[in-house]
Amino acid sequence: MSALLIKGGRVIDPSQGLDAIADVLIRDGKIESVGTNLNAAEADIFDATGAIVAPGFIDMHVHLREPGIEHAETIETGSKAAAAGGFTTICCMPNTIPVNDSATVTSYIVQRAHQVAKVNIFPIGAITKGSLGEELAAIGSMCEAGIVAISDDGRPVMNARVMRRAMELARALNIPVIDHCEDLNLSAGGDMNEGVESVRLGLGGIPSSSEDVMVARDLLLAEQTGAHFHVAHLSTRRSVAMVAFAKSRLLKVSCEVTPHHFAITDQELGAYDSNFKMKPPLRCHADVDAIIDGIVSGVVDAIATDHAPHAGSDKMQEFERCPFGITGLETALGLSLAELFHTGRITLMRLVELFTTGPANILQLNRGTLKPGVPGDVTVFDLDTEWTFDVQQSASKSRNSPFHGRRFRGGPIATIVGGETVSCRRPYGTENN
Amino acid sequence: MPPGLLDIESLTREEIAALLERTRFFQPQPNESYRRLDTLKGKTIVNLFFEASTRTRVSFEIAAKRLGADTLTIAAQGSSVSKGESLVDTLNTLAAMRPNAIVMRHAASGAPHFLARHLHIPIVNAGDGTHEHPTQALLDARTILDRLPTLEGLRVAIIGDIAHSRVARSNVHLLSKFGAEIVLCGPPSLLPRELEQLAPGVRLAYDMTEAIRGAGVVMMLRVQLERQHEAPMAAGEYFRFYGLRLDHLALAQPDAIVMHPGPINRGRELSSEVADSQRSVILNQVENGVAVRMAVLERILSQ
């Protein structure tokens, strides 16, 4: 039996409103206690003096590309990137080959994760068969096999009637419906945010309205069905406002935002660099401001990366030909500290909440907390170490990040999953790093 | 000026003025052909056309040959592009044969900019998707200045499919840098409102008579059916509302000229009478294309 004692860090646990210098003791893979001057003779010691000790971070929106697209990422490499980024738990979207629309694929992912993954992995199942938007997938069986939500991420359900049926079923199964809100007719032919920049660059525009009309539709369906509707990677000011309105009406609605959508705008892809191409696209300053306001006010429930690895050969193409998506697991915390905390917009407690209790509550995971008895997942990070992101050193199999060479202040130090240190950035003079 | 010529937007007014002035040196006298020079003797220029083109391709070829350069032209069909080779690999392969410059046309906006980041060889943009067509704007400016004293304060109406037009974007940037007043006109779906913020001095009009009134230059654009996802208006209405007829010209300045980058669609963008009228400088544009491209190639390759 093993034990790990994380000593002397500033423990921040939003689930208990805790912010104090304390020790965290993990025994046999579970949190045993949090307190001052804890002792456990047989425990390995992790000296966290000067660092923040938080419940393990959860990224509820990741693409692992396995099965089927293993040249871009695998469950193993994706989990390593997650560990390097401070995440102890990630949820993988179903757009693999084959699509995760059956218990068979779900079980494969769960088993494969047990064999090779560094962090906890929870699959998200497809809403429709093949994510084709027509016929419901085997949602009940996938639930039994371990999915925590349903989504046709990347291939949104255009048929409102199908979405209604999916929401009814999801409500009965007590799982959220995560929608990548995009009206495919409005966004057709688009490669970047529609606005002055798309007109200037001669690239097809993706209007904000393509997101907004789907958020509106889904909110109405959620009100009708009583389902829990979760907006994936929300990117527009009007969608922030609509979610806020829905929350004021006490609908079961939640939303996530990605670091890139609050860190950069559509003005930064001037050189037709495909590492700035993703869906939803980078929006304009007014949208970024509204998203950050939404984070501050509490409208936004979680930060999620939408980590979307693509092989170099796919991204090394003309802008309008390359696929959408960027990696994000290893830069999420650094970007959040830079844009939200160091700017004074939110407290550390709120920042930790967005990575822990936020996603844990949406997905009803018994994680994201340091309460005794829960799995011993802990993220240790610091606020001031200066470092530069080198995409060539990334643990991901892919290199498609717009943040190569960006300087950060503060980031992950250690990622502890079930009491095991799966990633450690610098030695802490302990027996296990 | 950086090596190559990717777009007008990143050029300064002075750089453009120098190119336009140098173009005059290459313009032939009436009834004369282009002079044959040996400025670029021993240089090799590859023309790489991923999109069909007649006038631009031929114009670049003649310009290079008149300067004494060796040229070869590759059309995308029949090249390794159709065998699945990526654009970067194709260009790297060509670059390995050490040409001195690559002139390229491509259907994707920003394709030359993307390549310029990966290749150390000057690239001349001969039209990229719906982004820019810098030598077209240069030859248009030369053509205007052959007839009118200055671009400053000149009213230019650009009419047609603005959204999909690289010619319009390059012209807007160039004319704006010289203080022209630009009126962009077309049906709403081809005239995004954000165009107004593209450069200083731009305004939009949906009504053609409003656009043409008082204009010194009327520039018509080709309807780019191949780039439109849906019809901008009901079939048959386009020429009625956005086709240029002789009677429109009465609204323009008495000495106003009509331009078109070609190829023209008689009866779609402009009536046959307009195309053949004394006001039309369409063939002068084509003629100036060679001189402008000589100036550009000389500028890039004799450094």
**pLDDT greater than 80 at residue B85:** no
Q: Where are the domains of chain B?
A: 13-132+289-301, 148-280
Residues B213, B214, B215, B218, CA torsion sign? positive
Q: What is the pLDDT of residue B205?
A: 97
**DSSP H helices in chain B:** 13-26, 55-66, 87-96, 111-116, 134-145, 166-177, 208-212, 237-242, 246-249, 272-275, 282-301
Decide: pTM greater than 0.90. yes
Interface of A with B in 289-328 (CB under 8 A): 313, 316-321
Residues near B275 by Cβ (< 8 Å), separated by ≥ 6?
B260, B264, B266, B282
Both structure tokens of A309 = 């690895």
A123 closest CA partner among A72, A64, A174, A81 = A64
**DSSP H helices in A117-178:** 139-145, 160-173
Residue of chain A with shortest Cα separation from B115: A318
Q: What is the pLDDT of residue B79?
A: 58
Query: Could you tell me which residues are beta bridge partners of residue A336?
Result: none
Query: How much of chain B exceeds pLDDT 70, in percent?
Result: 94
- pLDDT band of residue B233 (cuts 50, 70, 90) is confident
Residue of chain A with shortest Cα separation from B110: A272
Query: Cβ B110–A316 below 8 Å, yes or no?
Result: no
Q: Looking at beta carbons, which residues of chain A come within 8 Å of B9?
A: 200
Phi, psi of A151 (to 5 degrees): -165, 145
- pLDDT band of residue A167 (cuts 50, 70, 90) is very high
Q: What is the pLDDT of residue B229?
A: 66
Choice between A427 and B120, residue whose per-residue pLDDT is larger: B120
Q: Closest Cα of chain A to B106: distance in Å?
A: 10
Contact, A360 vs A114, CB < 8 A?
Answer: no
Choice between B229 and A394, residue whose per-residue pLDDT is larger: A394
**pLDDT greater than 90 at residue B167:** yes
- pLDDT band of residue B2 (cuts 50, 70, 90) is low
Q: What is the pLDDT of residue B133?
A: 98
- pLDDT band of residue A429 (cuts 50, 70, 90) is very low
Q: Tens digits of per-residue pLDDT, B121-158?
A: 999 999 999 999 999 999 999 999 999 999 999 999 99
Say which DSSP state A266 is in: G
Q: What are the residue numbers of the active site of A?
A: 306
- pLDDT band of residue A431 (cuts 50, 70, 90) is very low
Query: Cβ A201–B88 below 8 Å, yes or no?
Result: no
Contact, A30 vs A378, CB < 8 A?
Answer: no
B148-280 maps to which CATH number?
Answer: 3.40.50.1370
Phi, psi of A60 (to 5 degrees): -85, 10
Q: Tens digits of per-residue pLDDT, B86-130?
A: 888 888 888 888 999 999 999 999 999 999 988 889 999 999 999
Which of A194, A195, A202 faces B131 most closely, judged by CB atoms? A202
Q: What is the pLDDT of residue A1?
A: 61
Best residue in A200, A203, A266, A404 for a mutation probing chain B (most B CBs within 10 Å): A200
Contact, B7 vs B280, CB < 8 A?
Answer: no
User: What value does the mean pLDDT of chain B take?
Assistant: 92
Q: Selecting from 3.40.50.150, 3.40.50.970, 3.30.1130.10, 3.20.20.140, what CATH number does the domain A57-363 have?
A: 3.20.20.140
- pLDDT band of residue B232 (cuts 50, 70, 90) is confident
Class of domain B13-132+289-301: alpha beta
Q: What is the pLDDT of residue B82?
A: 60
The helix (H) or strand (E) run that includes residue A285 is helix A285-297
CATH architecture of A3-53+376-424: Roll (2.30)
Q: Looking at beta carbons, which residues of chain A come within 8 Å of B198?
A: 196, 199-200
Widest CA span in chain A: 66
**DSSP H helices in B125-242:** 134-145, 166-177, 208-212, 237-242
Contact, A234 vs A243, CB < 8 A?
Answer: yes
Mean pLDDT check: name the lowest of A303-312, A390-399, B68-77: B68-77
